């Protein structure tokens, strides 16, 4: 739309109905769009990467009027990785035109009302840089970024890459990573996004219009046009789907929960078991290619017996059993039979979601008796509509991620029934805004009427009526260890991934301060004292200004004191650092053992000054809050309640921070205290931690008194054939029932294990070990065409190997994906690894478990070292000392079992279904040479370990790689 048309729009948009209808017919409907996509030799035009293909689709309204596609000669070779990704080789572009030759066509095609791309910054930057090099004018059209708009308008999408959206929307995308194919599917996506905008309620469009000035996409006129049409033509979504809550359009929620308790008769257990696992109307009817497993049935029987007889048990269930469905079937029957709820606790939100979205709904479809289930998380996971509405009306926008998050939430509340933030993928800094609007701020919600729209209370209410409550270890431990009830009472519990329960519980007895996070909190806390929030507060003006200034001064002072303390601490730690590092490669500094007397005195003085400022801040904030409470007694005002709630919430945080500082720096206890930081940025990466080991006794006491029966289960619970280690960690030595149910996989034919005997020892001087393992990893990749996961125990070693691999001559054939180097979460890195044919994934820490890569995507697993905890870590040393005091052998009874369990978790990454085949290569010769090595060999699911030299392994590689199987059947895999 040109400037003249825009002027007409501005002048006429609020005129009479006939004028507007004419305007829409004659002007708005002729909007034109140029949808563009590029393929390039790399990600940065600034580093010399070049365009190799351009695809453009021109649309008038929603009709395609022209297409343009051409290769571009880049005057440079195309990297092998780009050729593998796109299919475009040097031969394709050899006779293609130069960029300068297609400039006239390019400018003509892009001379539209809007230029659209999926990540518009990438495409326009490449084009404008190329034009600038030719001395040509740059493209300056209005733009639309379909990445941005898909995040706003499709907040619940599992991913916002073009391939992910095209799959979820079932858009035809025959040639991903080819320019014209990507441009066509982006055009189809734009149609979907336009339709979604048209379907939004008027009030939502108004809120989005207020935010649109900060968008990358120039959608302000589009939104204004939609609002004009809505007002004068009456078009819009059906009113019965949404309703207004305090002016915010939200999805209507049902208010009645089903309560079946006491109204059903449970079938006999034997009949229930027979029906589910053997009858054609059972699991076989809902899981494609379902196979009845005697191991799965055995596990269900064992759990049901324990729950029925009110006894606890430890059960290790090998991979492939179908563990989740086994314990779910036992839990449901027990809940119906005993007319009491059964709690299921998992370590991760991912498994919690899997149970709620897969196993439980599937079982509900075929169950002869109805049952209910609910998921429950901590209140910080749920949106508070009251706080969100307040931010929409009064909040200030500090950055782009704030705007994007607010816009996403506006659309999300039209779709969500749970208000659980796990449903959407927020921007990286969106969690700062989320803290302002989460239900965690519920301290003094006096007179804050939420009706059906307190998502957290609705989730709790649903759980109160449920037969099965699915939660996480974090909330389970919080509920056990705190006086307040956070989970409805359950006497029966199943703890999956039980080997993590101890470490989760330990977090509630320790202290942790991360320098950047505390600084961010100080900045965010300061916002609540901005005068704009108090414009409608009828308090004495001078007193109000004085209180706000007092709190602002002390929060600034506290922030400065914290910065000064952290700076001094990190500077001293750098100068006096030991040669100890964590598994993430950070330096570890033992506070009490390495700090001098002078250092400790200076730190103590600094802490006293910081605590003084915090205490004055607490007093000032409490005074301000009490003033508002007095106002509330005479003026009923929901906005006042929001302010009171937030101030009370912050006071709690201030007090918690003072306790953390006191615990780490000032309390003279036996608890280990240490710092971790990166040497290049010590203050900016500084983490201070204190750890207590008293939690085991408290956890044990609460588990025994609050539960009648607890089932502890995992694919990796036993070490050296015994549950003694995990029992002692949880204080559950009195539990007698133990069972190890082996995996149904035929590991002898599905997997081979090789230990190269000529890899040098890591203890030898020099970099011989690093060079040897890097060469071995790359040589194996040549044999497997990538498709390899490499597990490290040290981030610093991972980083060194990553850069060594990049130096190999043919390394560009493979995409190296490395945790901590390649941007993205663990799940994002895993998805990228699976999406690329020739890739090598380097991981540490979290990649040793919970990563599911079935089928041919993973054919080789490399373990660089046996997964022992760093022996010099203060926390590890303290734990060893405590075990020694109790008459245990710290290495044999603590360190070794922990490493063996971790090792079993790592091994489990390779075979994920009955049809998987793979090779495990262990580069740590200690498994052969050390006395304790046999315990790791015994933990392997195969009877033979091949000991060969590297040359023989590579020359006879096909002999060591098991023959490929067929694709895993639906319903297989995912059965840890």
Looking at beta carbons, which pairs linking 448-452 to residues 24 or more positions away fall under 8 Å? 448/386, 448/638, 448/641, 448/642, 448/645, 449/638, 450/385, 450/386, 451/245, 452/253, 452/255
**E strands present in 320-449:** 342-346, 373-375
The span from the CA of 847 to the CA of 275, in Å, is 38
pLDDT under 50: residue ranges of the chain: 1-28, 444-448, 451, 966-976
Q: Classify the C-alpha dihedral 221-222-226-232 as positive or negative.
A: positive
Distance CA 942, CA 292 (A): 24
Cα–Cα distance list, 496 to 324, 346, 575, 713 (Å): 8, 5, 44, 5
CA distance 288 to 362: 12
In this structure, what token pair is assigned to residue 219?
Answer: 């959608």
Task: Say whether 322 counts as a known binding-site residue.
Answer: yes
Q: CATH top-level class for 747-960?
A: alpha beta
CA 5 to chain centre: 45
318 labeled binding residue: yes
Beta-bridged to residue 70, according to DSSP, are: 54
In this prediction, residue 965 carries a pLDDT of 52
In 721-825, where does DSSP find H-type helix? 724-730, 747-750, 768-784, 795-807
**What distances in angstroms separate CA 663 from CA 669, 803, 877, one per listed residue?**
9, 40, 19
Domain boundaries, the chain: 31-198, 294-372+493-497+696-741, 511-690, 747-960
Q: Are 314 and 302 in contact (CB under 8 A)?
A: no
Residue-level pLDDT at 446: 45
pTM value is 0.87
Q: What whole-number distance in Å separates Cα of residue 273 and Cα of residue 278?
A: 8
How many CB atoms neighbour CB 134 within 10 A? Answer: 10
Contacts of 623 (CB under 8 A, 6+ apart): 547
Cα–Cα distance measured from residue 628 to residue 287, given in angstroms and rounded to the nearest whole number? 58
Domain 294-372+493-497+696-741 matches domain 747-960 at the CATH topology level: yes
Phi, psi of 344 (to 5 degrees): -120, 125
pLDDT (0 to 100) of residue 967: 42
Any binding-site annotation on 317?
yes
C-alpha to C-alpha distance for 729 and 693, rounded to whole angstroms: 10
* Residue from 117, 122, 126 nearest 184 by CA: 117
Q: Which two tokens stand for residue 645?
A: 């709630």
Query: Strand ranges (DSSP E) for 561-624?
Result: 587-590
| 301 token code pair | 């029987």
The per-residue b/e assignment along 555-594, b for 16 or more CB within 10 angstroms, e otherwise, is: bebbbebbeebbeebbebbeeebeebbbbbbbbbbbbeeb
Q: Is 474 annotated as a binding residue?
A: no
Report yes or no: 408 and 426 within 8 Å, Cβ to Cβ: yes
Q: What is the DSSP letter of 422?
A: G
The conformational region for residue 236 under phi > 0 = left, psi -120 to 50 = alpha, else beta, is: left
DSSP β-ladder status, 313-317 and 737-741: parallel
- Tell me the two tokens of residue 289: 């290619």
Q: What is the DSSP letter of 175?
A: S
Asked if the 294-372+493-497+696-741 domain carries CATH number 3.30.420.40, the reply is: no
Let me know: does 66 contact 58? Beta carbons within 8 Å: yes
Task: Specify the pLDDT at position 237.
Answer: 60
User: Domain 31-198 is in which class?
Assistant: alpha beta
- Residue corresponding to tokens 């007319």: 339
C-alpha 838/C-alpha 84 separation (Å) is 8
First to last CA, the chain: 57
Would the annotation count 321 as a binding residue?
yes
Burial classification of residue 681, based on how many CB atoms lie within 10 Å of its CB (0-12 exposed, 13-18 middle, 19 or more buried): exposed
User: Is residue 673 within 8 Å of 660, Cβ to Cβ?
Assistant: no
48 is an annotated ligand-binding site residue: no
pLDDT of residue 533: 84
Please tell me the distance from the alpha carbon of residue 206 to that of residue 280, in angstroms, as a whole number: 54
Phi, psi of 421 (to 5 degrees): -65, -20
Whole-angstrom distance, CA of residue 99 vs CA of residue 132: 12
Instruction: Match 């709620």 to its residue by tokens.
Output: 356
**Integer angstrom CA distances of residue 359 from 17, 282, 855:** 54, 13, 22
Binding site annotation covers 300?
no
CA torsion, ordered 191, 197, 199, 202, to nearest 10 deg:
-160
Q: Which two tokens stand for residue 947?
A: 């000991």
């Amino acid at each position: 739309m040109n400037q003249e048309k825009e002027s007409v729009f501005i002048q006429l948009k609020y005129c009479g109905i006939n004028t507007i209808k004419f305007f829409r017919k004659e002007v708005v409907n002729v909007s034109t769009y140029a949808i563009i996509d590029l393929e390039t030799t790399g990600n940065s035009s600034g580093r010399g990467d070049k365009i190799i293909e351009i695809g453009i689709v021109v649309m008038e309204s929603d009709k395609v009027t022209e297409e343009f596609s051409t290769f571009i000669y880049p005057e440079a070779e195309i990297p092998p990785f780009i050729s593998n990704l796109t299919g475009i080789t040097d031969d394709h572009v050899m006779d293609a035109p130069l960029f300068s030759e297609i400039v006239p066509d390019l400018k003509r095609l892009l001379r539209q009302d809007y230029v659209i791309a999926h990540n518009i910054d990438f495409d326009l930057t490449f084009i404008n840089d190329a034009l600038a090099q030719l001395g040509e004018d740059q493209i300056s059209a209005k733009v639309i970024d379909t990445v941005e708009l898909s995040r706003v308008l499709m907040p619940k999408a599992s991913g916002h890459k073009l391939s992910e959206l095209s799959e979820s929307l079932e858009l035809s995308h025959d040639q991903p990573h080819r320019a014209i194919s990507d441009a066509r599917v982006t055009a189809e996506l734009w149609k979907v996004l336009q339709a979604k905008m048209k379907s939004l309620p008027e009030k939502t469009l108004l809120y989005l219009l207020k935010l649109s000035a900060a968008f990358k996409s120039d959608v302000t006129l589009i939104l204004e046009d939609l609002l004009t049409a809505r007002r004068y033509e009456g078009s819009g979504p059906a009113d019965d789907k949404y309703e207004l809550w305090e002016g915010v359009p939200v999805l209507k929620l049902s208010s009645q929960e089903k309560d079946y308790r006491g109204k059903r008769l449970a079938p006999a257990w034997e009949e229930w078991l027979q029906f589910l696992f053997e009858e054609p109307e059972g699991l076989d009817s809902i899981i494609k290619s379902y196979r009845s497993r005697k191991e799965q049935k055995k596990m269900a029987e064992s759990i049901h017996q324990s729950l029925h007889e009110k006894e606890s048990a430890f059960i290790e269930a090998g991979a492939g059993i179908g563990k989740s469905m086994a314990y779910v079937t036992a839990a449901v029957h027990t809940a119906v039979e005993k007319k009491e709820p059964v709690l299921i606790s998992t370590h991760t939100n991912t498994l919690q979601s899997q149970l709620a979205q897969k196993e439980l709904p599937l079982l509900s479809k075929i169950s002869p008796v109805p049952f209910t289930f609910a998921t429950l998380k901590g209140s910080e996971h749920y949106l508070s509509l009251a706080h969100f509405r307040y931010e929409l009306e009064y909040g200030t926008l500090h950055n782009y991620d704030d705007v994007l998050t607010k816009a996403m939430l506006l659309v999300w509340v039209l779709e969500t029934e749970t208000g659980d933030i796990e449903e959407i993928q927020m921007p990286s800094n969106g969690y700062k805004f989320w803290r302002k609007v989460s239900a965690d701020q519920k301290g003094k919600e006096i007179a804050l009427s939420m009706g059906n729209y307190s998502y957290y209370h609705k989730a709790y209410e649903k759980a109160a009526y449920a037969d099965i409550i699915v939660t996480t270890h974090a909330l389970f431990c919080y509920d056990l260890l705190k006086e307040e009830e956070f989970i409805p009472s359950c006497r029966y519990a199943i703890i999956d991934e039980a080997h993590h329960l101890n470490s989760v519980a330990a977090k509630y007895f320790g202290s942790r301060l991360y320098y950047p996070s505390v600084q961010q909190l100080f900045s965010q806390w300061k916002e609540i004292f901005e005068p704009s929030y108090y414009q409608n507060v009828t308090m004495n003006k001078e007193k109000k200004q004085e209180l706000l200034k007092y709190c602002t001064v002390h929060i600034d002072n506290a922030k400065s004191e914290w910065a000064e303390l952290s700076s001094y601490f990190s500077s001293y730690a750098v100068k006096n650092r030991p040669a100890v590092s964590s598994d993430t490669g950070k330096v570890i500094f033992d506070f009490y053992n390495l700090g001098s007397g002078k250092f400790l005195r200076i730190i103590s003085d600094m802490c006293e000054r910081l605590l003084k400022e915090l205490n004055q801040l607490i007093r000032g904030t409490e005074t301000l809050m009490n003033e508002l409470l007095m106002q509330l007694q005479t003026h009923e005002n929901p906005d006042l309640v929001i302010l009171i709630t937030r101030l009370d919430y912050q006071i709690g945080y201030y007090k918690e921070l003072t306790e953390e500082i006191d615990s780490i720096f000032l309390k003279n206890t036996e608890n280990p205290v240490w710092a971790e930081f990166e040497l290049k940025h010590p203050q900016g990466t500084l983490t201070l931690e204190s750890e207590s080991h008293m939690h085991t006794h408290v956890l044990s006491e609460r588990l025994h008194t609050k539960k009648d029966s607890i089932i502890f289960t995992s694919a990796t619970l036993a070490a050296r054939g015994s549950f003694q280690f995990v029992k002692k960690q949880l204080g559950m030595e009195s539990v007698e029932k133990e069972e190890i149910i082996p995996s149904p996989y035929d590991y002898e034919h599905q997997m081979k294990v090789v230990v190269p005997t000529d890899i040098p020892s890591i203890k030898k001087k020099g970099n011989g070990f690093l060079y040897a393992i890097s060469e071995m990893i790359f040589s194996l990749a040549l044999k497997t065409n990538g498709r390899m996961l490499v597990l490290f125990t040290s981030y610093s070693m991972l980083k060194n190997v990553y850069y060594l691999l990049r130096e190999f001559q043919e390394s560009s054939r493979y995409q190296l994906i490395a945790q901590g180097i390649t941007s993205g979460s663990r799940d994002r890195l895993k998805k990228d690894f699976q999406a690329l044919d020739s890739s090598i994934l380097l991981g540490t820490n979290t990649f040793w478990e919970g990563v599911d890569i079935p089928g041919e995507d993973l054919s080789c697993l490399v373990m660089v070292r046996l997964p022992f905890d760093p022996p010099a870590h203060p926390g590890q040393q303290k734990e060893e000392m405590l075990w020694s005091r109790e008459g245990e052998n710290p290495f044999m009874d603590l360190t070794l079992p922990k490493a063996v369990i971790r090792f079993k978790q790592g091994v489990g990454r390779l075979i994920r279904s009955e049809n998987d085949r793979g090779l495990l290569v262990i580069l740590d010769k200690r498994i052969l040479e050390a006395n304790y090595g046999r315990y790791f060999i015994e933990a392997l699911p195969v009877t033979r370990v091949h000991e060969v030299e590297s040359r023989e392994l590579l020359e006879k590689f096909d002999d060591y790689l098991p023959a490929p199987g067929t694709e895993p059947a639906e319903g297989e895999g995912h059965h840890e």
